[in-house]
Amino acid sequence: MFVDEVRIFVKAGRGGNGVATFRREKFVPRGGPDGGDGGNGGNVVMVASRRLTTLLDLRYQQHYEARDGGPGQGSNCHGKTAPDVVIPVPLGTLILDDATGEILADLVTEDQPYIMARGGKGGRGNSHFATSTNQVPTRFEPGQPGQARWLKLELKLLADVGLVGLPNAGKSTLIAAISAARPRIADYPFTTLVPNLGVVRWGEDRGFVVADIPGLVTGAHEGKGLGFQFLRHIDRTSFLLHLVDVSLWATEEPVSSFETMRHELASFDESMTTKPFAVVATKLDIRSDERIEALRAYCRRHRFPFYAISAATREGVDELVTHVGRQVESVRQGCATKY
């Protein structure tokens, strides 16, 4: 089960209290204050892990509380510091304050830690308050409370390339043809219900990661269809492939399909339209010559890179993978072409 958004409650431990004690030893007639400090409360820490791909575990356990610090003891003994509670999450997890919506952290690095709730500091014992005029202080400090708050976690998949298209445009077929991913494929719309990731190898030792999201429909930015809730997963991609069905049985004209996709991306987040992209005509093996030529002419007129492929027969696939690989390398080096 793919889960990419959850709410959790985190509460750090309270600091232990300091104590007021006095030294009592045989043959020591003037024992002074020796109250120790309380231990610090435990933190609640989130750590990004490449081994996880979903926030499913956090949906079923929503409350995380760390232990309190131990109280101080006599003989200036420090109270025990409570252990941290560590929560592993997938790479690409965005942490927001649920009350304000403020972004607190973006975990995009392996083993990157973030303290979501900081434990309270332990109170000082009475040995800290001894002075020349107050040699027998009875004052001590209580421990400070730990932080507690509700958080919202959003997962944004880390991928180099995003596949965008209307339902049944051939996205799942393409990712299955160029990677080891095995998404659900069928001859009806919305067979992809969750995002899929695939690693594509090209050249001798180079590769990139492709993300396939459910198909977009008109009004997706308003919540229609399945693609809206997964659009965030192409936010981190550096290159987009707009897949357009040019088969005889396509329900929409190819140019209209492409413009619909661009409009939905712009309505969801204007920055998505600034990413480098290419237009890919799919289902070349059952194409309509009139439709593919209309799309080709449109791309030529607007100077958009255009490729025609058949994922079923692999016609044009190798050329597309090479182009995408080179574009991804250019983006990584900061010199990609934007259209």
Cα-based distances in Å from 134 to 43, 46, 267, 309: 36, 45, 70, 87
Whether 54 and 1 have beta carbons less than 8 Å apart is answered as: yes
pLDDT attached to residue 186: 43
Helices (H), 63-211: 171-178
H-run or E-run covering 45? strand 44-49
| Domains annotated on the chain, with CATH | 5-155 (2.70.210.12), 161-332 (3.40.50.300)
pLDDT attached to residue 235: 81
Tokens 């309509």 belong to which residue? Answer: 288
pLDDT attached to residue 190: 43
Whether 90 and 197 have beta carbons less than 8 Å apart is answered as: no
pLDDT of residue 80 exceeding 90, the answer is yes
pLDDT, mean over the chain: 85
pLDDT attached to residue 197: 78
Lowest pLDDT segment from 29-33, 110-114, 127-131, 260-264: 29-33
Q: Dump pLDDT digits (tens) for 281-333.
A: 999 998 899 999 999 999 999 999 999 999 989 999 999 999 999 998 888 77
Burial level of 112, CB count in 10 A (0-12/13-18/19+)? Answer: middle
Q: Dump pLDDT digits (tens) for 60-78.
A: 899 999 999 999 998 889 9
User: What is the pLDDT averaged over residues 251-274?
Assistant: 88
pLDDT attached to residue 117: 95
The pLDDT confidence band at residue 79, using thresholds 50, 70 and 90, is very high
The pLDDT confidence band at residue 112, using thresholds 50, 70 and 90, is confident
Instruction: Count CB-CB contacts under 10 A for residue 303.
Output: 8
Stated pTM of the model: 0.70
What is the distance between the alpha carbons of residues 200 and 326, in angstroms, rounded to a whole number? 13
Lowest pLDDT segment from 180-184, 277-281, 287-291: 180-184
The pLDDT confidence band at residue 270, using thresholds 50, 70 and 90, is confident
What is the distance between the alpha carbons of residues 326 and 332, in angstroms, rounded to a whole number? 10
The pLDDT confidence band at residue 218, using thresholds 50, 70 and 90, is low
Buried b (16+ CB within 10 A) or exposed e, 288-297: beebbebbbe
The pLDDT confidence band at residue 11, using thresholds 50, 70 and 90, is very high
Who contacts 27 (Cβ-Cβ below 8 Å, separation ≥6)? none
Token pair of 259, please? 């413009």
Among the listed residues 165, 183, 187, 164, the one whose alpha carbon sits nearest the alpha carbon of residue 175: 183
Whether 144 and 161 have beta carbons less than 8 Å apart is answered as: no
H-run or E-run covering 280? strand 277-282
The pLDDT confidence band at residue 189, using thresholds 50, 70 and 90, is very low
